[in-house]
């Protein structure tokens, strides 16, 4: 201990040591608080960067996804009917969606009646609430690789109750492929391929940009078609559009 402290009484020295301990504790506490502030600042900045990165990647993906027209056939669309028609009915659909399945027969009948006057376009929009919707879309795209998209499309809607509740519908879809005389090995390879999965994911991103909020959603002549519950309602809308576009 230095010389001045030697002249202090025992009580004064004890008080001095107590003050020194208090100062050290306060210094340690202050240091710990600074470290905590620094740590939480780092965590906050890191969190902000993560959130920014997620939004940046999302916007970058959206920017790369083409905004498909709502009044015309786009490259890569699946089309039935008159491909170059001025009257275009675009359907955003989900193979596992009960409402889509309920309207499928109406659209199918319309395709038969208006096939020489209307372009019927199908675009994927599997909803998150339907766990087998994306696999069904993969199955349709895999069949499309062998020229039978529409045959698989029809089968998936007609047999929706059969595969909709399965834990894994892959084997059932493979059986459908065989019933359509597709090469089963190629179908299974395409079904699980990144190429097919990206087609469906890109379709979802394109739909979200509109934005599509539910299925089925129909656009006729670039305008959202009001929900229809009978074939006659759909037929009337198509007939009006055809008459409007007569030369």
Amino acid 129: pLDDT? 97
**Quick one: which H or E segment has residue 218?**
strand 217-220
pLDDT of residue 175: 98
Rounded to a whole number of angstroms, the distance between the first and last alpha carbons of the chain is 109
Return the pLDDT at 23: 65
d(CA 77, CA 74): 6
How far is the C-alpha of 186 from the C-alpha of 160, rounded, in Å?
23
Per-residue pLDDT of the chain (247 residues; tens, 9 = 90+): 444 455 667 666 666 666 666 666 766 666 666 666 666 566 654 454 434 443 444 444 445 667 889 999 999 999 999 999 999 999 999 999 999 999 999 999 999 999 999 999 999 999 999 999 999 999 999 999 999 999 999 999 999 999 999 999 999 999 999 999 999 999 999 999 999 999 999 999 999 999 999 999 999 999 999 989 999 999 999 999 999 998 7
Tell the residue number behind the tokens 């991103």, with chain if given.
Answer: 205
**All residues at 6 or more sequence positions from 75 whose CB lies less than 8 Å from its CB, including other chains:** none
Give the sign of the dihedral formed by CA 228, CA 141, CA 169, CA 153: positive
CA–CA gap between residue 70 and residue 25 (Å, rounded): 70
C-alpha to C-alpha distance for 156 and 162, rounded to whole angstroms: 9
Q: Which residues contact 71 (CB under 8 A, 6 or more apart)?
A: 88, 219, 221, 222
H or E element that contains 217: strand 217-220
Write down the pLDDT at residue 38: 62
pTM over 0.85: no
Find residue 81's DSSP bridge partners: 119
Sign of CA dihedral 29, 30, 33, 39: negative
């Amino acid at each position: 201990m230095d010389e001045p402290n030697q002249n202090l009484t025992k009580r004064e020295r004890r008080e001095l040591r107590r003050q020194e301990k208090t100062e050290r504790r306060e210094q340690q506490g202050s240091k710990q608080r600074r470290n905590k502030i620094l740590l939480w600042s780092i965590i906050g900045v890191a969190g902000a960067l993560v959130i920014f990165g997620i939004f940046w990647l999302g916007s970058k993906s959206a920017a790369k996804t083409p905004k498909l027209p709502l009044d015309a056939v786009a490259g890569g669309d699946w089309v039935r009917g008159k491909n170059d028609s001025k009257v275009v009915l675009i359907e955003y659909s989900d193979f596992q969606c009960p409402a889509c399945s309920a309207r499928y027969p109406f659209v199918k009948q319309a395709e038969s009646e208006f096939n020489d006057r209307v372009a019927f376009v199908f675009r994927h929009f599997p909803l998150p609430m339907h766990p087998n919707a994306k696999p069904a879309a993969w199955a349709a795209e895999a069949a499309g690789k062998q020229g039978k998209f529409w045959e698989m499309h029809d089968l998936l809607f007609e047999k929706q109750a059969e595969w909709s509740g399965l834990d894994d519908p892959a084997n059932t879809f493979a059986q459908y492929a065989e019933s359509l005389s597709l090469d089963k090995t190629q179908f299974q390879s395409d079904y699980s391929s990144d190429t097919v999965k990206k087609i469906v994911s890109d379709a979802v991103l394109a739909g979200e940009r509109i934005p599509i909020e539910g299925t089925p959603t129909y656009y006729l002549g670039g305008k959202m078609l009001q929900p229809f519950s009978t074939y006659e309602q759909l037929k009337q809308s198509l007939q009006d559009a055809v008459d409007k576009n007569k030369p």
